[in-house]
């Protein structure tokens, strides 16, 4: 069980869009539409921002969107805001009620 692959960091200026990719295999992202994304500010509990590949929980801003193509899932933050600076993790169901997280991506707002 190795982690899903995420880029280590991405940055953008306020108002710009950034996209984080999450690459898995045909055994996880490629098979299941149970991909979720989490925002994690250090010292706080992680927060679910996308589930079922592209669905937003109530209260999550529209600027967060998710998609999937093949074995790769993506999170796009449109109209980047200062408060979006955080670590972001993807997660996929991997069958038999097991899950796997990505290594995390640090988003920096310039």
Partner 1 sequence: EVQLVESGGGLLQPGGSLRLSCAASGFDFSNAWMHWVRQVPGKGLVWVSYINSDGSYTAYADSVKGRFTISRDNGKNTVFLQMNSLRAEDTALYYCARDVSYAMAAWGQGTTVIVS
| Positions that interact with partner 1 (CB under 8 A) | 1, 3, 32, 34, 36, 38, 40, 45-48, 51-52, 55, 57, 87, 89, 91, 93, 96-104
Distance CA 29, CA 42 (A): 27
Nearer to partner 1, 12 or 46 (CB): 46
Distances (CA, A) of 84 to 36, 47, 72, 88: 17, 12, 22, 10
Q: Which residue matches tokens 């109530």?
A: 58
- At its nearest, how many Å lie between partner 1 and the CB of residue 70? 19
Between 15 and 59, whose beta carbon lies closer to partner 1?
59
We find the least distance from the C-beta atom of residue 33 to partner 1, in angstroms, to be 9
CA 33/CA 51 separation, integer angstroms: 9
* 52/83 with CB nearer partner 1: 52
What count of other Cβ atoms lies within 10 Å of the Cβ of residue 9? 12
């Amino acid at each position: 069980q190795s982690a899903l692959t995420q880029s280590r960091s991405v940055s953008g200026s306020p108002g710009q869009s950034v996209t984080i990719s999450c690459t898995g295999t045909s055994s996880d992202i490629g098979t299941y539409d149970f991909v979720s994304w989490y925002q994690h500010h250090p010292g706080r509990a992680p927060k679910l921002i996308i589930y079922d590949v592209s669905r937003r929980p109530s209260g999550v801003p529209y600027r967060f969107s998710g998609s999937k193509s093949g074995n790769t899932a993506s999170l796009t933050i449109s109209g980047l805001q200062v408060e979006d600076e955080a670590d972001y993790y993807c997660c996929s169901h991997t069958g038999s009620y097991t899950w796997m997280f990505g290594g995390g991506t640090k988003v920096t707002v310039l």
